[in-house]
Amino acid sequence: MNAITSTQANVEVTVQAISADMAAGLSSNFTEANKAIFVLERLEEERLKWEMNELTASRQRLYGMLTDCYEFYLTMKTDTRADVREQMKKGLETFIQVRGYKFQSTSHDMNKIVKSVFGLDRRRVSAYSLALRAALKAGGIDNDGKVLALGIDELAGWIERNGGIEEIRLGSKNQGLSLKDRAEKAKQAIEKKPVMTISPDDRVMAFDTNDSDKLMVLLATYRPSGALEISGVVKSDTAVRAALAALYSSSKSSFKSQEQEDLQAISVETTQQAIERAVAAATLTV
């Protein structure tokens, strides 16, 4: 922390500059612009404290409540004692009836539990429910090929590792694929089959050697003449990842078809290799 003392109109003002680089950028005179900078630095510091303390604590408390909801569901569905499962089920039904909540006949029981706890905010209930339902399939696969639920004690850490509730919600709406997963699948697909090649004019759109083989987003408009008018380029990794994920979501049927074709090709190649090995082995034994 650097203390900066300035004098204006015979009034001494002492302020605290949070960062040395910001302090170095301040003019020697205490101006109105500098006052604004100090306000912003103070607010920035408050935001950092909020993120490190209150927001973190709030998020941990949320994950704790979601863990309790998750445990309620698993107990109601998988407890080895039939009377306990029935007790949990009847308790949920009674609670819903008293609160006057309405559900469709096809509503998942996880949605009912989450709504009972978090109330009528449909967006929040939907996001939390989808995340918890995704956790029901995130525990791996046993020796019999059965999909396992994530362990209760693992839930909070799993949510954190997967980017939080919203990221998991988006992934669950895309067959469990996170934004990163969708972006990676789209990237693999487009690298195999580019749709067109253009040569940019360096006078209006500069590129350098650092851009070689790097994905980027072109901002283009299709004109009635049939021309594709390119207005700009975005090289940000975040923008590229978001564009790839959006491409996968809008074209996932074609991507899946390509994946199936690739798998079939691998299967045919593997079968052919097996046949060739068998023939070779048979020849050696003759």
At residue 132, the pLDDT reads: 95
Where residue 136 falls among pLDDT bands split at 50, 70, 90?
Answer: very high
Q: Contact 222/228 with Cβ under 8 angstroms?
A: yes
Q: Contact 152/70 with Cβ under 8 angstroms?
A: yes
Is the pLDDT at 176 greater than 60? The verdict is: no
Is the pLDDT at 42 greater than 70? The verdict is: yes
Mean confidence (pLDDT) of the chain: 79
Is the pLDDT at 17 greater than 60? The verdict is: no
Where residue 2 falls among pLDDT bands split at 50, 70, 90?
Answer: very low
Which helix (H) or strand (E) segment holds residue 123: the answer is helix 122-135
Where residue 272 falls among pLDDT bands split at 50, 70, 90?
Answer: low
Residues of the chain with pLDDT > 90: what percent?
A: 33
Model pTM? Answer: 0.55
At residue 202, the pLDDT reads: 76
**Among 163-172, 198-207, 264-273, which is the least confidently predicted range?**
264-273
**Mean pLDDT, to the nearest integer, of 15-33?**
56
The Cα–Cα gap between 77 and 85 comes to 6
At residue 190, the pLDDT reads: 82
The Cα–Cα gap between 281 and 286 comes to 9
Coil, helix or strand at residue 11: strand
Amino acid code (one letter) for 50 = W
Query: In the chain, where are the structural domains located?
Result: 31-173, 182-200+239-285
Number of Cβ within a 10 Å radius of residue 252: 18
The Cα–Cα gap between 176 and 252 comes to 13
**Mean pLDDT, to the nearest integer, of 89-107?**
94
Where residue 111 falls among pLDDT bands split at 50, 70, 90?
Answer: very high
**Mean pLDDT, to the nearest integer, of 196-220?**
84
